[in-house]
Structure 1
Amino acid sequence: MDSESTVPTCYRHPAVECHVRCTRCERFICPDCMREAPVGHQCPECVKEGKRSARRARTLAGGRVSATPVVTYLLFALNVLVYLAEVVRPEIVDRFSMVGARLVGPDGGHLSADGAYFVFGTLRTEGVAGGEWERMLTASFLHVSPFDGAFGILHITLNMVALWQLGRVVELMLGRLRFVVLYLLSALGGSVAQLLLADPGQSSVGASGAVFGVGAAYYVLHRRLGADLTAVNRFMVLLLLWLVVSAGFTSWQGHVGGLLAGGAVAAAFAYAPRDGRRAAVQTGACAALLALLALATVTRVAELTGSGISL
């Protein structure tokens, strides 16, 4: 027998003699193919396979772990940019604010509740009841203009400080995609509550509904983790106090709607079973909430248009 035929060679480099086996597939590998492993060495293919099969770290809700709250930064920047745009063009607020239904004359003027504004010509309906559904989300990126008083600067400042402090924490606990869903459903929940409970002709703007939803998620997620709730409870007291105090000069309906929607979404994310059903349960819960909000909106719009829009 030829002794040379029994000399082991690298399976990737047949011309290279070697005497080391991959600890995973047990094939012979040369020094160029050796990769450090917890025990011994592995070949390049086994290393790649190990990386593909390695279980990735997940957040509490099952999202991908990230070190940077990119979505929070983007939402913060978007709110600030929109605010600067409305300072330059104040008419943006009137066009994209949350309005249930109000009558507008041919010259663009609004018909007042007491009928003091009188016009000749055809009146039209503007707002959600007039088919401007986008207002239910665009309003959450607008804020009171500084031209409308001192509260203008304070309005966006308070919301952005809260978003910056809460959003960065909640986003890292949920993951980016789930945080986006939470934020948008909270904003939508605030607009639906505004549509159902407020004067349909009342205009409202602000990220408060979405921020209250993020605040509710902050509380729910910390409870789910079993963390020390002393500081969290103190925060919730401040949040509820702000809700009461702000009722006199902001849309408390939007705050309550965002708080309830955000809490519901966060509970669905945090308490879904940690198995293969988790994504399906979370998706189903969010879809159910969205359907409920849509049903409430359609019902209210039908009531407004069917009754001739009560102002």
Structure 2
Amino acid sequence: MTTQPPSMQPGAVPVPTCYRHPERETYVRCQRCDRPICPDCMRDAAVGFQCVECVRDGNKDVRQAKAVFGGAAVSVPRVTWTLLAINVVAYFGEIVLGGDFVSEFNTAPGAIEQGEWWRLLTGAFLHLRPTGTFAITHILFNMWALWAIGPELERRLGHVRFAALYLLSALGGSVAVFLFSIYPSVGASGAIYGLFGALFVVSRRLGYDARGVVWLIGINVVLTFLIPGISWQGHLGGLVIGVLVSAVFAYAPEKNRNTIQLAGALVILAILVAAVVLGDPYALIAEIERRIG
């Protein structure tokens, strides 16, 4: 005569098994849904343990931290570091590959007029080659400015909005070069000036004292016209677009904020594209020269 184990005897209560792993016996239950859970399915809770599904459902009700002007909260300014790395890598590419690399990708109005539209962005990631003191300071100043103010703006705006601000400002500077200059240019200065403008707008929106930013912008604008060889078109174009983009992001009402911000950024992008497609840079330059003369 054989003896049945207690769990097999008539009237015995079966040993509970994990709801996700039926082959595992367990006497621990989820504090929320009361289902049996094995060690692999246990998640620490305020009291006892919860199952995987209950933890996931509970997290849906937790309000995620956001940046001041929308988007997910930023702990590490990844976009800033990525942009900085791209600029530095491109600079070493210039050193290794030489002048042909620069001439193929700089912001050359004539080449853009012939359809090489990519120069509007690629030129904004190039800098003067290290042939003299000023050439080295070109990338050093731009990267210092990006490192100094980029993380703060990225934390306020969020990753995506900060990336849009930087790229639209860079594009704005290049479009201004295309429309108002006949000379090729390189540099992230248009994007950096856009960040200067954004820093002013964000400071005003948050109620901070923006006088220091005004001085920063004023001094750099004066230097733009005092130092020979600097593209005032790229600097001022980036500054104007940076102010416009950041104003859209900072002053969009909380209701439908994401939609308004996206629409505003797309409108600015459309205007820049239209300026390139429909603009006649040589007619504009000729008219400016006629009025000055």
Greater length-normalized contact order (CA 8 Å, ≥ 6 residues apart): 1
Question: Which residue of structure 2 aligns with residue 284 of structure 1?
Answer: 263
Match of 1:156 among 123, 135, 139: 139
Shift of 1:31: 9.2
Q: Does 1:192 align with 2:175?
A: yes
Match of 2:102 among 69, 93, 97: 93
- Is the alpha carbon distance of 1:29 and 1:255 closer, same or farther for their aligned partners in structure 2, counting shifts above 3 Å? same
Instruction: Choose 186-195 or 265-274, whichever is displaced more.
Output: 265-274
Instruction: Choose 289-298 or 30-39, whichever is displaced more.
Output: 30-39
Match of 1:55 among 40, 52, 63: 63
Task: Render the CA deviation track for 1:174-220: whole Å, top value 9, x for unaligned.
Answer: 22221111111000111112222x33x21211100001111222222
d(CA) in 2 for partners of 1:94 and 1:16? 70
- Is the alpha carbon distance of 1:243 and 1:31 closer, same or farther for their aligned partners in structure 2, counting shifts above 3 Å? same
State the SS of the aligned residue for 1:183: helix
Question: Which residue of structure 2 aligns with residue 213 of structure 1?
Answer: 194
Question: Which residue of structure 1 aligns with residue 244 of structure 2?
Answer: 264
Instruction: Choose 28-37 or 215-224, whichever is displaced more.
Output: 28-37
Match of 1:293 among 258, 261, 272: 272
State the SS of the aligned residue for 2:68: coil
State the SS of the aligned residue for 2:70: coil
Question: Which residue of structure 2 aligns with residue 123 of structure 1?
Answer: none
State the SS of the aligned residue for 1:146: coil
Aligned residues: 270
d(CA) in 2 for partners of 1:300 and 1:234? 36
| Sequence identity (%) | 40
Higher helix share: 2
Q: Does 1:234 align with 2:212?
A: yes
Q: Which amino acid aligns with 1:280?
A: T
Question: Which residue of structure 1 aligns with residue 253 of structure 2?
Answer: 273
Question: Which residue of structure 2 aligns with residue 255 of structure 1?
Answer: 235
- Is the alpha carbon distance of 1:301 and 1:134 closer, same or farther for their aligned partners in structure 2, counting shifts above 3 Å? farther
d(CA) in 1 for partners of 2:270 and 2:27? 67
TM-score for the superposition, normalised by structure 2: 0.80
TM-score for the superposition, normalised by structure 1: 0.75
Question: Which residue of structure 1 aligns with residue 206 of structure 2?
Answer: 225
Answer yes or no: is the 8 Å Cα contact 2:224–2:235 preserved in 1: no
d(CA) in 1 for partners of 2:123 and 2:43? 56
Task: Render the CA deviation track for 1:227-263: whole Å, top value 9, x for unaligned.
Answer: x31xx42133122211111223211111111111111
The residue correspondences of 1:61-72 to structure 2 (distance < 5 A) are 61-72=69-80
Shift of 1:29: 5.5
Shift of 1:35: 5.1
The residue correspondences of 1:26-65 to structure 2 (distance < 5 A) are 27=34, 36-38=44-46, 42-65=50-73
Question: Which residue of structure 2 aligns with residue 114 of structure 1?
Answer: none
- Is the alpha carbon distance of 1:152 and 1:10 closer, same or farther for their aligned partners in structure 2, counting shifts above 3 Å? same
Answer yes or no: is the 8 Å Cα contact 1:71–1:180 preserved in 2: yes
- Is the alpha carbon distance of 1:28 and 1:299 closer, same or farther for their aligned partners in structure 2, counting shifts above 3 Å? closer
Q: Which amino acid aligns with 1:160?
A: M
For the aligned residues, what is the CA RMSD? Answer: 3.0
Q: Does 1:175 align with 2:158?
A: yes
State the SS of the aligned residue for 2:144: helix
d(CA) in 2 for partners of 1:222 and 1:243? 19
Match of 2:82 among 74, 78, 87: 74
- Is the alpha carbon distance of 1:87 and 1:53 closer, same or farther for their aligned partners in structure 2, counting shifts above 3 Å? same
